[in-house]
Amino acid sequence: MMERPLVEPLSPTCTQCSLAIFCSYNKNTGIKPKLLHLKRKEILHHANDRFTTIYAIQRGALKTHDADSAGNELIRGLYLKNEVYGYEAIYQGHHLYSSTALTDTVLCENPYQHFLELIRSEPDLLGRVVSLMSQQLAAGAYLKCITARQRLSAFLLDLSTRLSSNKSPPDFLLPMSYRDIGNYLGLATETISRILSQFKNIKIISIEKKHIYFLQPEELKRIAIHL
């Protein structure tokens, strides 16, 4: 895999990082995690590449993906700012899917072996690991929603929880294109555009370019759970 440029530590962003507690223990070891910068559409790794690293996303977003028999991309996962990426590869020792930056993205590299050493030396960290893994397993539960409106509403609510800064009304910048959203949710790009336009017209949300503002979050929740 090609060498990528390292960037200076982004210490102001570390306070919200899911791995911040691990880095605080790192200070005692003298080992400093490395930061990598990926350009939009740059590949982090390919499917079946050997697993060696747990990543914390400082900024930006990643998608994991493979392809169907016709070569069409299938998006399998979405990982956002302040989240952790790499758990799914631990068991088999290699990555199941390729991973690509959705936007310009900065990643904090944490060698997995060092990660294990920290947990062994600091047992209190184990609870944090279990919590992070549980959080990741819960992501994407809305993919089981029956209707397109349900699925997209639940997806927007999930993004709001993961990306917004506790503002009222919540707002966030979409980290991916309508095409990628449709791919991830199993819906046509036209369906995503049509439903978002409907939500905008009935003033559930407001859209400025790719910035989403929730005007009626309770109505979105109602749509997401309504069968």
pLDDT for 41-82, tens place per residue?
A: 999 999 999 999 989 898 999 999 999 999 999 999 999 988
Domain enclosing residue 158, as ranges: 142-225
The conformation of residue 129, written as its DSSP 8-state character, comes to H
Query: Which of 93, 114, 139 is the last residue in one of the domains?
Result: 139
pLDDT grade, residue 35 (50/70/90)? confident
Residues 96 and 153 in one domain: no
Identify which of 20, 135, 26 has the alpha carbon closest to the alpha carbon of residue 87. 135
| Residue 98 and residue 77 in contact, taking contact as beta carbons nearer than 8 Å | no
pLDDT in tens, 84-108: 899 889 889 999 999 999 999 999 8
Query: Which of 139, 163, 178 is the last residue in one of the domains?
Result: 139
pLDDT reported for residue 7: 40
pLDDT reported for residue 223: 93
Residues 161 and 105 in one domain: no
Residue 180 has pLDDT above 60, yes or no: yes
Phi, psi values for residue 212, rounded to 5°: -105, 130
Residues 189 and 135 in one domain: no
Task: Give how many domains the chain has, as a whole number.
Answer: 2
Residues 104 and 153 in one domain: no
Q: Burial code of 41-67, b = ≥16 C-beta within 10 A, e = fewer?
A: eeebbeeeeebebbbbbbebbbbbbee
Identify which of 58, 52, 59 has the alpha carbon closest to the alpha carbon of residue 20. 58
